[in-house]
């Protein structure tokens, strides 16, 4: 089974064979995707050119306190450093979101040094992501935050934008989270993390406070109601790749979800690219990521993309 090489990251959606969206790429795109997220001097809202978004993503940091129930070995957030804000101020966040949307839609973003040479198609807004420095569903004012983002969109001061919740799935069973997700449109998306096939490997990579079975159960419950994209980051740990048997178990978990009725339009396979707070973590080579994608495709038949 061959891997299709895609040189342009905006060239399309999932295809029949695993698609590589990382290499080769024009130099300008490598530079664009290599840029770290830009806070624009905001407290809670930032922008980033994201390969998985296929362009510009506006992020809303629901966890400025850095609170998370995972301690992933690849996490870029340094929890040894004090947080800039101890809590999300929803009113400030909403103001920052409006200002950032205006910056993007007015074209003024290109005037900033970081974006002057970025191809225009990569400055097209792809979505507003509910994400941040921790697990967004654990945000104490998650309901108010989502309501505020929905309100900004409902005012129709800007073109309609898609909302994406990026989550480790552990809070998807919270009643208030489920209630807010009912307000998502069919255009909105939920990206869930699943990066292990066994509890032992999850403990090694994600270092969670909740079991793998809860993650699987929460993904299944939601994905029976609406499609979810699965995000899977596989790092090098102390120079070692994920064991082949672990990848087999990971693929089997995806197959079990699919067989049980989960709607999974896409599995994203990628590795750590930004500097992490843990020196033992490294970037998995493209050939290894492609091999994982081949396994997933062979076992599950699901669309897979490699970044």
Model confidence over 252-294: pLDDT tens digits? 999 999 999 999 999 999 998 767 767 788 999 999 999 999 9
| 35 — pLDDT class (breaks 50, 70, 90) | low
Q: What would the two tokens of residue 33 be? A: 């995707």
* Tens digit of each residue's pLDDT (9 = 90 or more) over 152-166: 999 989 999 999 999
Number of domains in the chain: 1
Domain containing residue 206: CATH number: 3.20.20.70
Higher pLDDT, 79 or 259: 259
Mean predicted confidence (pLDDT) in 17-39: 46
pLDDT of amino acid 95: 98
**Residue range of the domain that includes 215:** 4-306
Higher pLDDT, 141 or 10: 141
| 28 — pLDDT class (breaks 50, 70, 90) | very low
pLDDT of amino acid 85: 82
pTM of the predicted protein model: 0.88
Read out DSSP for 198-234? SHHHHHHHT--SS-HHHHHHHHHHHHTTS--EEEEE-
**pLDDT of 213 strictly over 60:** yes
């Amino acid at each position: 089974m061959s891997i299709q090489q895609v040189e342009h990251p905006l060239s399309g959606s999932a295809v029949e064979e695993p698609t590589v969206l990382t290499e080769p790429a024009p130099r300008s795109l490598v530079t664009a995707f290599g840029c770290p997220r830009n806070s624009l001097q905001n407290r809670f809202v930032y922008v980033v050119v994201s390969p998985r978004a296929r362009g510009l993503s506006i992020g809303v940091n629901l966890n400025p306190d850095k609170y998370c129930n995972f301690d992933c070995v690849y996490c870029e957030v340094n929890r040894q450093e004090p947080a800039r804000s101890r809590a999300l101020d929803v009113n400030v966040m909403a103001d920052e979101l409006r200002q950032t949307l205006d910056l993007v839609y007015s074209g003024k973003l290109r005037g900033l040094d970081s974006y002057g040479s970025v191809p225009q198609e990569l400055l097209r807004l792809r979505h507003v992501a509910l994400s941040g420095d921790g697990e967004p569903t654990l945000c104490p004012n998650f309901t108010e935050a989502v309501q505020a983002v929905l309100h900004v969109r409902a005012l129709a001061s800007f073109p309609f934008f898609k909302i994406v919740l990026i989550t480790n799935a552990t809070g998807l069973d919270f009643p208030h989270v489920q209630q807010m997700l009912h307000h998502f449109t069919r255009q909105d998306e939920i990206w869930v993390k699943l990066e292990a096939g066994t509890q032992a490997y999850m403990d090694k990579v994600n270092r969670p406070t909740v079991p793998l079975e809860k993650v699987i159960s929460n993904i299944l419950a939601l994905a029976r109601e609406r499609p979810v994209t699965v995000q899977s980051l596989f790092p090098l740990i102390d120079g070692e790749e994920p064991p082949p048997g672990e990848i087999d178990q990971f693929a089997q978990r995806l197959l079990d979800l699919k067989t049980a009725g989960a709607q999974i339009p896409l599995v994203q396979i990628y590795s750590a690219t930004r500097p992490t707070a843990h020196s033992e973590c490294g970037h998995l080579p493209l050939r290894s990521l492609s091999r994982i994608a081949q396994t997933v495709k062979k076992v599950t038949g699901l669309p897979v993309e490699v970044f």
